[in-house]
Structure 1
Amino acid sequence: MEAVIKNKGRKQARVQMNWKDRLFDISIYGVAIMMIIMIVYPLWFIIIASFSNPGDVSSGNVWFWPKEWKLAGYIELLKNESIWRGYLNTIIYTLVGTVIGLCVNIPAGFALSRPNLPGKNWITTFYIIPMFFTGGLIPTYLVVKNFGMLDTFWVLVLPFSVSAFNIIIARTFFKNSIPEELWEAAQMDGCGTIRYFFTMVLPLSKAILAVIGLWTAVGIWNSWFDAMIYISNENLQPLQLILRRLLIMNESLFEMASGDLASELRQLSDMMKYAAIVVSTLPIMMLYPFLQKYFNQGIMIGSVKE
């Protein structure tokens, strides 16, 4: 009889625990869904607003789908030849700058992860200090000018290719994710440091390569301030700077106009703003689904463990 009562009590406790677990799971999924909506909906709204009548958008009639499809913003934006030239420049800057960034930061992170590196603490301090203190815009401009890189292709990919943050992330990843026993086994087979890095370490570091590569690519793709400071040649300007100039130009035309013309220019300017956001962000956002699987491994292992 006592055994039956104990079994019944265990079943009731199990049912109660299962109910609590289900409630906890429902709460977690509910919060996750709300966060996804909060992140995804603004992006979706920008897309549908770029195809909508600006009057419907400003009056709050557009929520999930355009009331009236319009392509005037995209047509006006893409008929400008400088947009296509800026697109090509930005793609080249991003590809070349990402490759250079990986070639600079990944080996530096690996070198700092070696326990027998002479002066490792001093070198690490040398990298960390610029993360908090910089020389300022004017000294940087003078350095770039003295190297003869003003109004050149390389000014957007070489001077700022070193990232102390990426180096620290890569160092921590190598330190915590690549076992030291692998290096000892490689030494027994007569493998040197360089060969070990290229043949054994890099194939095991796809996660951190993807993460740092994407961070570098996004930074270069979205950069416009450096181009505004160092590039005056319109043939070398990236997409973001050209879009900024076009939007400012449209705002100036709108301020000078009056009456019905001002209203039309205002609507066209609003549509071009939304279209410019989509045109400038959609290509780089398409990379995220292909690299998302590397993010947890690359960031969590590379930065949390220490």
Structure 2
Amino acid sequence: MLIVSEEVREALAAGRPVVALESTIIAHGLPRPQNLQVALELEESVRREGAVPATVAVLDGRARVGLDKEQVERIASGDGIRKLGHRDLAPALATGASGATTVSGTAFLAARAGVRVFATGGLGGVHREWTSTQDESADLALLSRTRIAVVCAGVKSILDVPATLQRLETLGVTVAGYGTDRFPGFYLTDSGHPVDWTLNSPEEVASVLRAQDALGGPDSALIVANPVAEAEQLDPELHARVLAEALQECAGRGITGQAVTPFLLDFLVRHTDGASLRANLAAVRGNVRLAARVAAAWTR
């Protein structure tokens, strides 16, 4: 039920660098037709750095690590493309469903295929009002038992960032800032919270991966928190104001559970005149480039 594309399979067998890419951003994170343009752009960015892209998705009940152009187009424009986390994979495969994989779904399938480096935008995490809702992304627990490096721009700033960092520590997931001792906030270069470790080159990241393997012990991810450039971040004051308005409106409408995150993200896009989306894309592009360089250093 897990199909690894010929290109990805040959690259892994030859010890060449491979970077896993999630497909949720294609199907659910960006408007059409920009979503397809960005998907193809990100794959090309991986190739320019000398690595092989492995976009992950489920099509007709088959989990795929590595898509061809026609399959990427189907994820971008097809109807009925579901959003699949790790928990959704078994029923999707059993029922012949098609879906785009989230962070947890992508990390699980990529690791099963032998891919060690994964690039995404921002992680899920502990939601605000967690004490009453108990709402926490499945990303965190999955990464605590999956040996993969995740290059990301921290966690989405609409979440409870300090609680998320505390949860990752409790779960034993290593978090390192790339070129910074501050934890990035997805749209923001600095979430306002520190990290314990700083890594300054792809080679240092690769050395940590090798040390993880040498030590053995429980499998867990390495989160490489790569901040969006200051010049490309969402203006922090605008972010704070619009997010406060979004949270107030969310509460006023009684929006809860899984509906909260898409509501807040959509609100930010609309009320920042698209600036949040531009910051999102800048972060993803930077993460993909860095992930390809890390994968190259890992295979050297």
- TM-score higher than 0.5 here? no
Q: What is the TM-score when the length of structure 1 is the normalising length?
A: 0.29
Q: What is the TM-score when the length of structure 2 is the normalising length?
A: 0.30
Larger radius of gyration: 1
Higher strand share: 2
Higher helix share: 1
